[in-house]
Amino acid sequence: MPSYANARKDVGKINLFRVGGIRISIDFSWFVIFVLILWSLSVGYFPREFPAQNAYSYWGAGIVATLLFFLSVIFHELAHSLIAIRSGLQIPEITLFIFGGISKLSEDAKDAAAAPHGAAKRRGSVEDTSPTL
């Protein structure tokens, strides 16, 4: 039976799928950056670079490009997780949020090399908030 604390951790998140035992989820704050990127591509970038197309093309290309961008963020986090798992750590979850992705560690980072971008050792989770835009 899930405890109250565990149930509370899932508030504000949507679980998407699992990859190799790692749960991939999105925080509600992610929708803000999703809309901003989608809008800037569909209203700014694509009309400027590919003029004289219809709005459906711009928004369709914007949705595809935005989803591919966030897929690349998930791959980035999975790469961190692979290194961490090879170092003997467990990664139960990757969460996308407004500033990027977070790979959660289930225990202390024993090896600083396993922490994303040389992040300081920390109990509970390692945040990978490096801007990827």
Q: Among residues 8 and 122, whose Cβ is nearest to Zn ion?
A: 122
Q: Among residues 37 and 84, whose Cβ is nearest to Zn ion?
A: 84
Taking the complex as a whole, how short is the minimal distance between the CB of residue 130 and Zn ion, in angstroms?
5
- Output the furthest CA–CA distance in the chain (Å, rounded): 57
Q: Which residues bind to Zn ion, rule: CB under 5 A?
A: 116, 128, 130
Q: Among residues 37 and 78, whose Cβ is nearest to Zn ion?
A: 78
Helix, strand, or coil (residue 13): strand
Helix, strand, or coil (residue 111): coil
Catalytic residues: 77
Q: Got the DSSP string for 25-69? A: EEETTHHHHHHHHHHIIIIIIHHHHS-S--HHHHHHHHHHHHHHH
Taking the complex as a whole, how short is the minimal distance between the CB of residue 37 and Zn ion, in angstroms?
18
